[in-house]
């Protein structure tokens, strides 16, 4: 199992989420993060004085997937998150040792499977 951590622009999130859902990856987490990189900070001018803000807001997406799905998910993120300008963000791929669904206690890759419609209805 792998965990994909991607730092992206806010605007890229919605198309990524809907395409991952279409491709069968409904589960993901996001966090609003702020950080610095090669993208320049912004200067805020407040009543004539200025304040440089060096960290910029980004969105962090976390998805855990089976090894075989790695390139599919990475490509989906690249497709929507790349504008070509500095500040598009980064993707990190990490190994995952275990996965446990809390409700049932199931372990392993089965936890990553999307629910079937029948399961959701039940």
Partner 1 sequence: MRRRYLAAAIPIGLIAMLALPSLAFGQDAAIDKLRASAATTDEALNTTWVVVAAVLVMFMQAGFLLLEVGFSRMKNVGAGVAKVIVNFSIASIAYWAIGFALAFGGTGELWGDSGFFLDVGSTASQAAQQFPILDIAPISPAALLFFQFVFCAVSLAIVWGTTLERIKFGAYVVYAIVFSALLYPIISHWIFGGGWLQANVGMQDFAGSTVVHLMGATGAFAALLLLGPRRGKYTADGKPRAIPGHSMPLVGLGVLILWLGWFGFNPGSTLGVFGDAAAGIGNRFAEIVLVTNLAAAAGVIAAVAVMYRARKTIDIGMAGNGAIAGLVAITAPSGYVEFWAAPIIGAVAGVIVVVGVLAIEKWIDDPVGALSAHGLAGVWGTLACGIFTAPRFAEFNGVGEGGLWYTGSFHQLGAQALGVGAAFAFVFVFSYGIFFLIKKTIGLRVTPDEEDAGLDISEHGMYGYPEAFIPAEEFSTGGVVPQPVSAPAVTATMASDRPSEA
24 binds partner 1 (CB under 8 A): no
Inter-residue contact 113 to 25 (CB < 8 Å) = no
In sequence order, the β-bridge partners of residue 35 are 56
User: Are the beta carbons of 8 and 81 closer than 8 angstroms?
Assistant: yes
CB 4 within 8 A of CB 72: no
Max Cα distance, the chain (Å): 62
- Is residue 66 a contact residue for partner 1 (CB under 8 A)? no
Q: Which of residues 83-112 bind partner 1 (CB under 8 A)?
A: none
> Out of 54, 75, 79, 114, which residue is the one contacting partner 1 (CB under 8 A)?
54
Q: Which CB atom, from 49 or from 116, has the smaller least distance to partner 1?
A: 49
Q: Decide if residue 43 touches partner 1 (CB under 8 A).
A: yes
Q: Which of 46, 68, 97, 98 binds partner 1 (CB under 8 A)?
A: 46
Helix ranges restricted to H, 1-122: 13-22, 70-81, 117-121
Which region, judged by CB under 8 A, interacts with partner 1, from 49-57, 68-76, 95-103, 104-112? Answer: 49-57
Residues in the site for partner 1, rule: CB under 8 A? 10-11, 34, 42-46, 51, 53-55, 57
């Amino acid at each position: 199992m792998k965990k994909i951590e991607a730092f992206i622009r806010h605007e890229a999130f919605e198309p990524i989420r809907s395409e991952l859902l279409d491709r069968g990856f409904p589960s993901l987490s996001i966090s609003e993060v702020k950080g610095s990189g090669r993208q320049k900070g912004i200067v805020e001018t407040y009543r004539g004085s200025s304040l440089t803000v060096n960290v910029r807001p980004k969105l962090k997406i976390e998805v855990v997937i089976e090894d075989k799905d790695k390139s599919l998910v990475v490509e989906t993120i690249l497709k929507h998150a790349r504008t070509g300008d500095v500040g598009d963000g980064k993707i990190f791929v990490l190994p995952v040792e275990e996965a446990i669904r809390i409700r049932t206690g199931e372990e392993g890759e089965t936890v990553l499977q999307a629910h079937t419609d029948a399961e959701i209805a039940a």
